[in-house]
Amino acid sequence: MSQFSAFGTPYSPGSPQLVIGLQPGAGHGSQPVLAAQPGIVMCVSSGVVPGGMMPRPADVPNCPPGLEYLSSVNQLLIKQNVELLEAFTGSETNNKYAIKNVLGQDVYMAFEDTACCTRMCWGLARPFDIKIVDNFQREVIHLSRALACKSCFPCCLESVEVTAPPGTKIGSIEQEWTLCSHSFKVKDHLGDTVLRIEGPFCTMSICGNVDFDIVSLAGNKVGKISKQWSGLARELFTDADFFGITFPLDLDARIKAVLLGATFLIDFMFFENNNNANC
């Protein structure tokens, strides 16, 4: 029977597995936590050092600059920074995220760029721009969401446009109208649907992960976006979230970037409230 690692990828029993995550509540500069599966020897290839910055891969033909990092990964960890001002006062601040590979190496940083009055007036429905920068502080991906209307009517569906480099559209995520679950279309730069994201009916994160499956147009599961349980205090008193995302290694880097954008949309739609009480 097939078994799966912490992020949903299959492995054979007895094969070396390295589980790497971030200690809940730790800051951006903290080291990743490494743990071996019970009864299995933990192996790290010679010359691969967990933590630090991800080495820049070789240039990939027909790949937008900065997305070559995505061409060599099939898993990403997205950790939202805890904002102390927001935690103690309840005032909504611009979100910041660290994006790492499974070795805990920095791949990107993401920064929300929204005016204070917009955050105060519109809250979680606010329009936003998120700048995703590489380790050299170069913006490589830009996400844009229009003002959202929190309603179940088909005319009020949400979407995010993804550009890379900024100004060049590579795709979008569009919410689908459904009665009993949450689903999204993943579209390429031509507007063609290439993947779908299917979420659960209830997205309350109570002592467990919440998974949104990434499926092909044929209905086969090819990955997932997982909202990770990050501890009771962090879940109750902050809106700092922790996500894992998996996708096929050979998936177009542009579509990987669009799936990364989908993670931020899902965060804003379902998990930015401290109580995570969204059904």
pLDDT of residue 32: 43
β-pairing, 221-228 vs 33-36, is unpaired
- Which among 127, 123, 32, 129 is positioned nearest to 86, based on CA atoms? 123
pLDDT in tens, 228-241: 765 444 444 444 57
pLDDT of residue 83: 63
pLDDT of residue 30: 44
Cβ proximity of 110 and 96 under 8 Å: yes
- Which among 51, 17, 19, 15 is positioned nearest to 34, based on CA atoms? 19
Domains of the chain in sequence order: 53-271 (2.40.160.200)
Cα separation, 151 vs 148, whole angstroms: 9
Cα separation, 198 vs 211, whole angstroms: 9
What are the respective helix, strand and coil percentages of the chain, to the nearest 5?
A: 15, 30, 50
Cβ proximity of 7 and 246 under 8 Å: yes
pLDDT of residue 6: 40
pLDDT band (50, 70, 90) for residue 38? very low
Cβ proximity of 249 and 97 under 8 Å: no
- Which among 211, 190, 198, 199 is positioned nearest to 254, based on CA atoms? 190
Q: What is the pTM of this model?
A: 0.75
Query: In degrees rounded to 5, what are phi and psi of residue 221?
Result: -75, 125
pLDDT band (50, 70, 90) for residue 181? confident
- From the number of C-beta atoms within 10 Å of its C-beta (0-12, 13-18, 19+), residue 28 rates as middle
